[in-house]
Structure 1
């Protein structure tokens, strides 16, 4: 019996604004089914690679693919108020830590402070939108963020408390804001989390884990198109404002990406802000991805 069968915590069913075939397509692509739910770090990495970009702890009240929803294996999963005692939330958190340690997919707080996983193939496109060139750093980064970056470029990786001390930042909130700023600019990532002797993150440079992806030059227009393609491929159809919310783009940028797909013939526009995959075979059962089984080690 699966976790999705055992749990009763879900929202009452309500009519969807999306066609049934789109919801079923998303169920398969976003692992919102008990037969496809994520249980291991290897499962999660395959899910992220397939979806392209995935939120960490969002639930059915937020659009887009989510690791938490994939762990639950059901469309209507909702985070409980007491997450500390919830087994599905705990497993999601444990998988997040293991994925971070393995370093095979990109993980950080990205646009709008959202904790997100990126498949390596998507890193150049997100970096083209939000990344900073070194020459831009003095002008666009806060003094605290520059101080942290200077330390990490010298030491390469460091725990939270040591990094704050070496950067000379007394205020904890200022330090946290600076770290969020560096993550959003795709300069710094958490590499590992330690729980003993005390809880702390280990921080490192993003370019140390994904050197080729972060050094690859991509135009902004190409990046917007590929981010839009990635989401539409996994969603089947995108409604007004959905891509912007999921990827952290402005609505105008999301529209530019979707319209580029229409010009290419990859998508059709059903109405302003509503785009659907052009390929009619995309929504047949045969097009749904299989849930691969990893027989090898997970570490």
Structure 2
């Protein structure tokens, strides 16, 4: 059995979509909410004959990856997050690039020689790589209307991935991937007014309107930190709201805190768009932190460490 392991955000879903449109294959799917990244350990070593892993930090899955390789299971690994020490094995094929201007879907797009580039562009928009995505639109002759639609698609698919559990999401990421697989070209989504694109658009706009009431915990010329209530809508917008704030103030770093049931906070961090580095360095100073240079997060920041987090964020970019 082949396993496809992928992040439940736009980058993970649309990276896999490109691969399976180009290389159809019956597979077992392993995914979850965006923050659920310890996914490789869910592969059944006794059943697996090969594994593809997309947009999931190798650093957070080293043990499970090593176990697969030790059991002679070939792994194709594509990612742009922190890697840690990459295992040395002839069974591991890895396409890894941690540059802040790269995402997994763009790496897959290169691997496929641009065969399904519109999905890759949508994913880049979803990962808030707007300038990179716009450049790909120009290179591929994508017009302004389609470019705007791809940006919206990437944003909505990314938005769908955020939640405490998959119960918070409008679509389970595996279901969303399978529904999108019916569309070889994203234009078909846009032309069908009853498609999931328009369902997600309506939900996104409603949730983002509610996010405008976020409590501002700190704001100066270096960074801004806001807090959202513990509610399904706030958990859904925690990442895309951070992207919106970053786009509004590209010279600032941003933190979006969302209250958890145990009084800790989930944190989304965005490096300044004009200085896309260091978000991961800020977050790994806390036990449940991780991510990449441009965007990172903390899964459970204790309430008593909020001021410490704000201080670390401000001092890093000062």
TM-score range, shorter chain: under 0.3
Considering Cα pairs closer than 8 Å and 6+ residues apart, tell me whether 1 or 2 has the greater RCO.
1
Higher strand share: 2
Q: Please report the TM-score for the alignment, with normalisation by the length of structure 1.
A: 0.25
Structure 1 or 2, whichever has the larger Rg, is 1
Higher helix share: 1
Q: Please report the TM-score for the alignment, with normalisation by the length of structure 2.
A: 0.24
